[in-house]
Chain A
Amino acid sequence: MNRTVKFIFYIIAVTGVWGCKQPKPQPEMRIPPTAAKDGINPYVAPDKSPMDMSYFPKDYPILRMNGTDEKSLVARVIYSRPQKKGRQIFGTSEKNLVQFGKEWRIGANEATEIEFFKNVKINGQPLPKGRYVMYGIPSPQNWMIAFNNNLFTWGLHMDSTQDVLRISEPVIEQKPPVEELTIFFEPSEIGADLFVIWDNVKVKIPISIEQ
């Protein structure tokens, strides 16, 4: 009996340590095993932080396909989706993937791009229709979010002299944590909310739309 109890503690200890040091691997975008015999794509390999696109009105291309698009196109975000993979994403340490107080592309790879097809107000401040780079400076309570004119860039070294608009939004706690960076629009009373969600953080950006 004593041996069994010891053994159980041993298992708890081992699984505990294993749980901390080697988080359960998350599914990641990769060539499936079947690809081995076909060979890896020799031209452009798929990205491990795959790109994605969000529209407002939500799922606009599908609405158009179904003939249920009552409103015209307002906005589109194009971003890459890194994954948490057991890491604490936001924090003060250099070990954190995104450090408080530093510029972050709100994505991976290329700078995140947002295009407005109508004039809008972001958090009450006017932003003319057009295409912008969107980046942020996260901190524990608030995020600064910038809309910037330096398009078609890789998401490092933002040129803040080309900022068109800067706003600040409070951080909302996201429970439970979200594995992949997720950016999407939801309709609101004044127009739309743009949500940025990753790990235990959620930020909501209110947008009103000029008709």
Chain B
Amino acid sequence: MKRLAIIWVLFTVFETSGFAQLTSPPLDKSPLDISYFPVNYPSLKTRDKISENPIARVIYSRPFKNDRVIFGNLIEYGKVWRMGANECTEIEFFQDVKINNSKIPKGRYSLYAIPDTANWTIILNQDTDLWGAFKYDQKKDVIRVTVPVEKADSPTENLAIFFQKSDQGCALNILWDNVSVSLPISL
């Protein structure tokens, strides 16, 4: 017993002195991520596999499902959602594109969604660098598009937003929990 006590003391000393380290501002629990179109553009460019400019990119934070029901619960139906966590999600087009037959000039936009059971409204807005959707201003909307909800076969743990090549250009896919939506973009 005495021996065990000594071992315990030694371990405690090692734990608190030898290994102790300052922790800097911690990693975000909903880490930021970036998706390009063409897919994996920076890697392609660095390997000289692509010479033209990128077309689009999305910057977003990736919350976890963490066993919660996301849509209709954590994310309320019918309300504007930042489509991420922390800062509102940002989409940038490096050339003019078309969404729902409307011209979207190249530039940086915030990206929001109003989720619902059967459809989502996807919103591009001119006001960027905002936290959440708390200061979302509908007057600065560039476009609103309604897209259908598809149910995913298996739930996605982290919010995932990524581009996929399509006949017209690309699709912006948004997946989280058991929901999948896709925004068509023409070039």
Contact = CB atoms under 8 A, between A and B. Distances in A.
Interface stretch (B31-39, B72-80, B98-106, B118-126): B31-39
Contacts of A157: 46
Nearest to B155: A38
A23 B19 contact: yes
A177 B21 contact: yes
B156 A43 contact: yes
A34 B66 contact: yes
A152 B14 contact: no
A172 interface: no
Contact of A152 (B6, B36, B129): B36
B7 to A, nearest CB: 6
A111 B156 contact: no
- Counting chain B CB atoms within 10 Å of each CB, the highest count among A8, A34, A61 belongs to A61
B135 A179 contact: no
Size range of the interface on A?
35 or more
A41 B134 contact: no
A15 interface: yes
Size range of the interface on B?
35 or more
Interface string A1-18: 000100110011001000
B34 A110 contact: yes
B1 to A, nearest CB: 12
B42 interface: yes
A29 B19 contact: no
**Which A-B residue pairs are the 9 nearest by beta carbons?**
A50-B31, A154-B46, A51-B32, A61-B131, A65-B131, A178-B24, A182-B24, A43-B160, A176-B22
13 contacts: A7-B3, A15-B10, A31-B64, A35-B65, A43-B156, A47-B33, A50-B33, A53-B87, A61-B129, A65-B131, A76-B129, A180-B23, A184-B25
Interface of B: 2-3, 6-7, 10-11, 14, 18-28, 31-36, 41-43, 45-47, 54, 57, 59, 62, 64-67, 86-88, 129-132, 134-135, 154-158, 160, 162, 173, 175
Given A19-B14, A55-B129, A154-B45, 11 more contacts: A31-B64, A34-B66, A46-B33, A50-B32, A61-B129, A61-B131, A65-B130, A152-B54, A178-B21, A180-B23, A197-B24
